[in-house]
A = this chain, B = another copy of it.
Amino acid sequence: MAANSRLTTAVHALAWMALAGRRGREVMTSEEIAASLATNPVIVRRSLGELRAAGLVASRRGAGWSLTREPEAISVLDVHEALGAEPLFALHPSTPNLECPVGQGIRPVLTEVYAAADAAVRRELADRTIADVLARTLASQETT
């Protein structure tokens, strides 16, 4: 259970809110969203709370949650970054031996490699929006 499903939770919640909004329900409760995700409302509040800090959604106590932008204007990268986007790979847990030529010089090299991998992920996520995800989700069901 240690894998990162936070992006899945957040994108699913936003897609569901976008669909509801299109149907005229602009405000949803964390309980309604949790029902679609089959999880606890607190999980939703925590997740959407991070998105609110990034300006993607808004909430009001006693009321509920709403999108602050059109679904076309929210990329999956926006969501990823709102969630805190941890680096894919980490450097050494403890400083390597600086007496060793490799230990002394490898960290900037790996940092660059990891940054390139990170940038590649971002490029992919930047290309897709919540509207795209929703459209493709619904399209797969018309076919069925």
Of A44-52, A53-61, A62-70, A96-104, the one contacting chain B is A96-104
Do B124 and A123 have beta carbons less than 8 Å apart?
no
Q: How many copies does the complex hold?
A: 2
A74 contacts chain B at the CB level, 8 A cutoff: no
**Are A108 and B140 in contact (CB-based, < 8 A)?**
yes
Known: A113-B128, A124-B120. A106 touches B12 (CB 8 A): yes
Q: What's the least CB distance linking A75 to chain B, in Å?
A: 11
Q: Are A125 and B133 in contact (CB under 8 A)?
A: no
Would you give the 0/1 interface string for A1-38, flagging 1 where the beta carbon is closer than 8 Å to chain B? 10111011101100110010000000000000001111
Known contacts A16-B100, A35-B100, A102-B19, A93 near B5 by CB under 8 Å: yes
